[in-house]
Amino acid sequence: MRKIIHCDCDCFYASVELRDDPSLKGRPVAVGGAAERRGVVATCNYEARAFGIHSAMPTASALRRCPDLIVLTPRMDKYREVALQIRAIFSRYTEQIEPLSLDEAYLDVSDCDAFQGSATRIAEAIRQQVRDEVGITISAGVAPNKFLAKVASDWDKPDGLTVITPSQVDEFVLSLPVKKIHGVGKVMSARMATEAIFSCADLRQKSLNELLGLFGKFGHQLFDYARGIDERAVKPHRERKSLSVETTFAQDIVGVDAAKSRVAPLLLELETRLLRRGDKKFSGAFVKLKSDDFRQTTIDRRYEGDLTSVLFEQLLEEAWARMASPLRLIGIGVRFASNEESSGGSNSIEGGAEQQLDLFTDIE
């Protein structure tokens, strides 16, 4: 039986800013791009969330909801420094650490001898040490597997600790709303509602074949999650699945030709980042577009040749046909050969593999 802890910093970037400037305490604060440059909110504190502000919301929209919102420019170097401090605290208890982002990680403490092997007391110690040594709060979930640990860490935010023991798994899962399952967003939860699926108890009423028919490959995970099953191991070395670059425009791009003219500088930036990382082998290329009314689509194709403007312009034309409206964002990228890929284009990543998205790619 594994002992898994999922740790997730509370409003990480905003928490670091409030730590460094105590005068911001009690005031609505967001970290993100400037409204006049069509930036987005990367994160915000709970005072800002009370106004309905959330990550990935356009900063201009956030300011309309809360005119007194304090919008701070991201300090990524500082956030990385703090993340390394937190990672060092994790490493006092285990080497089995799987980071999902700067502010979030899984820890497998099954073989840890600290506190007589109590995962709950280890999680309590980590939270206390982060508070004392780093000056911010972190929530944690303790459970027999990754799925439940991640659900638990979000159960009592901020500054919370939720423990699901093996004997509690079945009772906990039966009452769990499907919207709490990672990978089930608004679109999929709406589809589930049409099938009268609102909780994991409802999912259990469906056979595996029924779930596969309704939700494709994700049906396998749903079948297991509804029973509290997740056999995934904590992987200390996560391979990067993709690399991309994006630009959010101050003025909408109108027309496919104008959009294609923006590909060359993006490709140059992508090639520079690939060279810096030493990544040469990839098996897919993609283009992402976001319209002026915030619709988003991605065209993703298997590809192993040289990266050229012509390739991405062709993908952009296909994506444009779906949008047929002015664009606020264009992105291009590659998927790496050593990772599992999906073919074809899509408008959603719901039900896909767990991956970390870089919110700052939308910030100019």
Residues taking part in catalysis = 104
Question: Is 68 part of any known ligand binding site?
Answer: no
Residue with tokens 């309905």: 52
Q: Is 159 annotated as a binding residue?
A: no
Beta carbons of 262 and 253 less than 8 angstroms apart: yes
Go through the chain and tell me how many residues it has.
Answer: 364
d(CA 362, CA 364): 7
Give the angle subtended at the CA of 186 by the CAs of 34 and 31, to the nearest 5°: 20
Return left, alpha or beta for 6; rule: phi > 0 is left, psi -120 to 50 is alpha, else beta: beta
Beta bridge partners, 9, equal 138
Q: Name the amino acid, one letter, at 309.
A: S
Q: Are 253 and 233 in contact (CB under 8 A)?
A: no
Give the residue among 168, 157, 186 at the shortest CA–CA distance from 49.
Answer: 157
Binding residue positions: 8, 103
Q: What residues are designated binding site for Mg(2+)?
A: 8, 103
